[in-house]
Amino acid sequence: MRIIKISMLALALGLMSFSAIAPVKALVSETNIATFDASTIVWKAETIDVGQIPQGTPKAIVYEFKNTGKTAVVITNVQGSCGCTATDYTKEPILPGKTAKVTATYNAANKGGFTKTVTVTTSAETAPKILTLKGTVI
């Protein structure tokens, strides 16, 4: 009987020690998340609706952003969601206070509504930014 009581006490103390550690880990991860959420890139628009565009005429959509941080930002990759969207972007480092552009050119080959995305990866953010373009080909 005494062994059972000692075992129960040891189990209870063991469980209490785990619960005391958990809030400390949560606090550390919340602090890290808050640090990463502070972006140094401010986009003029993340979604652009081009309205109606004629079939067979490629449409260039320009996304602009400003580097509001204290260090230069480099665009490391830009990828369209399909082969119908070509991309171009500022290749040189964007200094603090300066602006840059990402251009997506949509090939308006098929009639109807469309929604496409452009994924932009930079040195300033841990997660890529998803930009959206939409409209209707007539």
Q: What's the pLDDT tens digit per position in 72-83?
A: 999 999 999 998
Mean pLDDT lowest among 38-42, 79-83, 94-98: 38-42
Q: Where do the structural domains in the chain lie, given as residue ranges?
A: 1-38, 41-137
Q: Which residue from 64, 55, 63 is spatially nearest to 107, judged by alpha carbons? A: 55
Give pLDDT, residue 122. Answer: 94
What's domain 41-137's architecture? Sandwich (2.60)
pLDDT at 34 over 50: no
Q: Any idea which residue has 């050119």 for tokens?
A: 105
Q: Which two tokens stand for residue 85?
A: 């969207």
Cα–Cα distance between 133 and 108 in angstroms, integer? 12
Q: Residue 78 carries which side chain, given as an amino acid letter?
A: V
| Phi, psi of 96, deg, nearest 5 | -55, 135
Compute the average pLDDT of residues 56-81. Answer: 94
Q: Against a cut of 0.95, is the pTM above it? A: no
Binned at pLDDT 50, 70 and 90, residue 11 comes out as low
Neighbours of 55 (CB within 10 A): 11
